[in-house]
Amino acid sequence: MTPRIPLSAPDITQAEVDAVTRVLETPFLSLGPELQLFEEALAAYHQVPHAVAVSSGTAGLHLALLTLKIGSGDEVIVPSFTFIAVANAVLQVGATPVLVDIDPVTMNMHPAAVEDAITPRTRAMIVVHTFGVPAEMDDLTLIARRHNLLMIEDACEALGATYGSGTATKRVGRFGDLAVFGFYPNKQITTGEGGAVLAHDPAHALRLQSLRNQGRRPDAGWLDHAETGFNYRLPEMACALGRVQLSRIEGILACRQSVAKRYHDLLGKIEGLELPALKLPQRTISWFVFVVRLPQCANRERVQDALAARGIATGRYFAPVHLQPSWKSRQQGADRPLPVTESIARRSLALPFFNHLQPGQQKVVADALQEVLLSAGSAPIA
C-alpha cells in the first residue's frame, strides 16, 4: 500500500521538465554542454575551483578515495551512524574503515573519538554532515592537520549548510581536500541518481574526470586510457535536472526549514519525545530529514507499524554500519564500543519530510504519533 503521507517526495516543477525535454531534442545525451554547466554551477555555489559530476554519491566517495591514493594497508576513520555507502567505499579501495562514535547533539563524529582512533596507519577521515547538520569542522580540521590526515567531506545530506561565524562562514564542501555530494531523489536536490566531487587542486579534478570516464583524460582520444577507470558518468538529462534544482536551492532550503519549524511547534508538547535542534552554534542547518528520538520506553517497531496502519511512512535513520549483517562477518574495526551510536540509533524515527509537506499533513503526523505513543508504543523495547 502506498502511504498517504510518504517519507519523502521529490519536488519537480515545469522548469525541470522543460530542461530535461530540451536535452532530449539535442544530439548530446552524455558528456555535453549540460555537464559542464552543472559542474560550473556547483563549483560557483561552493566557491571552489572544480566540481566533477558523477553517477552517484557512492561513486563520488569511491573516486575521492582513489584520487587521494588511499588503498590497501590504510585506515580511514568514518562514523558508524551513517549510510552504509561511506564504509563500503573505503572497503572498495581495499582500505580499512575504522568506525567511531558520535556526538549526541549533532549526530556527527565526535572529535575526541576521531583522535582516539588514530594509529600510524590512519590516512584519512570521511567527515559526514549527518542529516544536514555540519560536523565540528574547527576541531576536525585541527586534528587532521596535527596528524597529517587527509579529509574527505561527505556532504551528501547537507547541500547548502554552513559552518563558521562572521566572515569565516563557509558552505560545507569547502573544508575537505575533496567533498562529495549525492543527488538521489530524497536529497535536497535531485538528478534521479547522481553525485559530484568538489576539488581545490586541479590535479585532483583531472584525476576525477579521468577515473569517472574509463581512465581517459579529458584531453585524450576516446580509446586512450591512461589508467584503469570506471563508467561513473552523469548523463545530460540528469545534469539539466540538477542545474534547475540547484538554481532553486534557496527556496528549497527555506521550505524545508519551515517544515522543520512547524514540526517543532506541533511535537514540542509530546512527553519524552526528543526533537532535533532547530539551531546550533556556528551552523546553519540544511534540513535533510526530520529525525525524532522516541521515549526510552517506546517500542519503535510498534510505533512504525501503528503509523503505517494510519498511512504514515517512517524510517529508521540510521541503522548503524557495524550492526549490519554485511558488516558482522568482518573483523576490521568492529572492536570499538559505540554506545552513543547504539543508544541513539535504537530510538531514532524519521518522520515524513519534504519541501511541500503541508501543515495539515504535519498535524496528522503529530496527532497520530502522540496517540500511538500513548497506546501501542509504550511497551518496553524488546
Ligand X SMILES: *Cc1c(COP(=O)(O)O)cnc(C)c1O
Q: Provide DSSP, 319-368.
A: --GGGSHHHHT--TTTTS--HHHHHHHHHEEEEP--TT--HHHHHHHHHH
Nearer to ligand X, 87 or 368 (CB): 87
Burial of 202 (0-12, 13-18, 19+ CB in 10 A): exposed
| Alpha-carbon span 172 to 267, nearest angstrom | 29
Q: What is the chain's percent helix, strand, coil content, to nearest 5?
A: 40, 15, 45
Which residues inside 102-131 make contact with ligand X, applying CB under 6 A?
A: 128
Nearer to ligand X, 143 or 189 (CB): 189
Bridge partners, 315 (sequence order): 350
User: Among the candidate windows 97-105, 114-122, 152-160, 295-303, which touches ligand X by CB under 6 A?
Assistant: 152-160
Do the Cβ atoms of 52 and 205 come closer than 8 Å? yes
User: Among the candidate windows 30-38, 79-87, 100-108, 214-222, which touches ligand X by CB under 6 A?
Assistant: 79-87
Which residues inside 174-213 make contact with ligand X, applying CB under 6 A?
A: 182, 184, 195
List, in sequence order, the alpha helices (H) in 83-177.
85-92, 111-117, 137-146
- Least distance from C-beta 182 to ligand X, angstroms? 3
User: Among the candidate windows 56-64, 139-147, 211-219, 276-284, which touches ligand X by CB under 6 A?
Assistant: 56-64
Do the Cβ atoms of 178 and 198 come closer than 8 Å? yes
User: Among the candidate windows 82-90, 108-116, 292-300, 357-365, which touches ligand X by CB under 6 A?
Assistant: 82-90
| Alpha-carbon span 319 to 379, nearest angstrom | 21
Of 5, 63, 156, 349, the one binding ligand X by CB under 6 A:
156
Q: Does 57 bind ligand X (CB under 6 A)?
A: yes
Of 38, 81, 83, 175, the one binding ligand X by CB under 6 A:
83
Q: Which residue is nearest to ligand X (CB)?
A: 57
Q: Does 338 bind ligand X (CB under 6 A)?
A: no
Q: Does 242 bind ligand X (CB under 6 A)?
A: no
Where along the sequence are the contacts to ligand X (CB under 6 A)? 56-58, 82-83, 85-86, 128, 154, 156-157, 182, 184, 195
